[in-house]
Amino acid sequence: MKTIQFREAICEAMSEEMRRDEAIYLMGEEVAEYNGAYKASKGMLDEFGAKRVIDTPISELGFAGVAIGSTMTGNRPIVEFMTFNFSLVGIDQIINNAAKIRQMSGGQLKCPIVFRGPTASAGQLAATHSQAFESWYANTPGLKVGVPSNPSDAKGLLKSAIRDDDPVIFMESEQMYGDKGEVPEGEYLIPLGVADIKRKGTDVTIVSFGKIIKEAYKAADELAKEGIECEIIDLRTVRPMDHNAIMESVKKTNRLVILEEAWPFGNVATEITYQVQSQVFDYLDAPIVKLNTADTPAPYSPVLLEEWLPNSNDVIKAVKKVLYKD
């Protein structure tokens, strides 16, 4: 094992796959000369050249369309959005072309493309730069959605995403690029659609994904001091979702808390809640609790932002609520 930053894990995944397959290329704003807005493509221009690491104009709709069109000629592009907030400018290409090419061509065409970049809030970036669209993209048939929470998962998942023959939305976090973690030395893949139990427990199941899962870890450490053992499941992939991992855990703990950094109406936590009550209702000993952001645009004020985001104290309260200890 070696210890590297999240941004280095992303860079290694892309570089290893580009060495393996010349059809893969990277394009986006500042990915080449500047080494990426968050330095996730550092050194790649030097290694692969300007034909395979391409700086684009500030035109998400344009370069998303160019990349999607190139899949029809045998290419396998990686498209970096400086933030997924900006993907909204190009979302027509993603939803109406990338997600639908396979079906609308009667299976004659595939669309092997990865759209990647940071998602959700990252401090005082205010309302238009603090949004989480995992559930938006996961709602669309034809798209897969991965959201890693650490360097090891990021590298293994991204390599699988790049090799996938369908479009993958790969969401990172500006606040995680500097995070360090252990990563296996050799080649490895983490399949899309497989969750990971990050902490075993018997009293309550906590399901989360992305950077907000850190709040679940903090809460679990505090609750353990009171003899409450939480089982934490990191989804890693929102679509396809690993229903089996969730159901088996709930069958054991009989209680479920879902932690997601997203607006509360119709999100990933809502889907998990439906699936659990549909499949393992009789195992539940308490109503499911889901923790999300406030139902407002993200505030700029740091005081309000802290109130807007779910945190470890919210998780502790939710766990005690489902255990009837509040």
Q: What is the pLDDT of residue 229?
A: 98
Residues 79 and 134 in one domain: yes
pLDDT digits (tens, 9 = 90+) for 52-106: 999 999 999 999 999 999 999 999 999 999 999 999 999 999 999 999 999 999 9
Residues 231 and 113 in one domain: no
300: helix, strand or coil: coil
Q: What is the pLDDT of residue 268?
A: 98
pLDDT digits (tens, 9 = 90+) for 143-199: 999 999 999 999 999 999 999 999 999 999 999 999 999 999 999 999 999 999 999
Going by pLDDT thresholds of 50, 70 and 90, the confidence category of residue 290 is very high
Mean pLDDT of 6-11: 98
Residue 188 lies in a domain: no
- DSSP code, position 94: I
Hey, what are 79's tokens? 């498209």
Q: What is the pLDDT of residue 19?
A: 98
Q: What is the pLDDT of residue 22?
A: 98
Q: What is the pLDDT of residue 274?
A: 98
Find how far residue 224's CA is from the centre of its chain. Answer: 27
Question: Would you say 142 and 102 are in contact if contact means Cβ atoms under 8 Å apart?
Answer: yes
CA atoms of 291 and 167, how far apart (whole Å): 29
246: helix, strand or coil: helix
Query: What CATH number is associated with residue 239?
Result: 3.40.50.920
Residues 133 and 266 in one domain: no
For the question of residue 129 being annotated catalytic, the response is yes
Residue 189 lies in a domain: no
Residues 71 and 17 in one domain: yes
Task: Tell me how long the chain is.
Answer: 326
> Looking at the 3D structure of the chain, how many domains does it have?
2
Which range of residues forms the domain containing residue 229?
196-322
Average pLDDT, the chain: 97
pLDDT digits (tens, 9 = 90+) for 218-264: 999 999 999 999 999 999 999 999 999 999 999 999 999 999 999 99
Q: What is the pLDDT of residue 237?
A: 98
Residues 177 and 225 in one domain: no
Q: Which helix (H) or strand (E) holds 136?
A: helix 134-138
Residues 268 and 151 in one domain: no
Residues 160 and 202 in one domain: no
Residues 27 and 131 in one domain: yes
Q: Which of 12, 17, 29, 129 is catalytic?
A: 129
Q: What is the pLDDT of residue 326?
A: 76
Residues 16 and 147 in one domain: yes
Query: What CATH number is associated with residue 17?
Result: 3.40.50.970
Q: Which helix (H) or strand (E) holds 54?
A: strand 53-55
Residues 241 and 202 in one domain: yes
> How much of the chain exceeds pLDDT 90, in percent?
99
Residues 127 and 224 in one domain: no
For the question of residue 60 being annotated catalytic, the response is yes
> How much of the chain exceeds pLDDT 70, in percent?
100
Q: Which of 8, 60, 80, 134 is catalytic?
A: 60
Residue 268 lies in a domain: yes
Find the farthest-apart pair of alpha carbons in the chain and give their distance in angstroms, rounded. Answer: 60
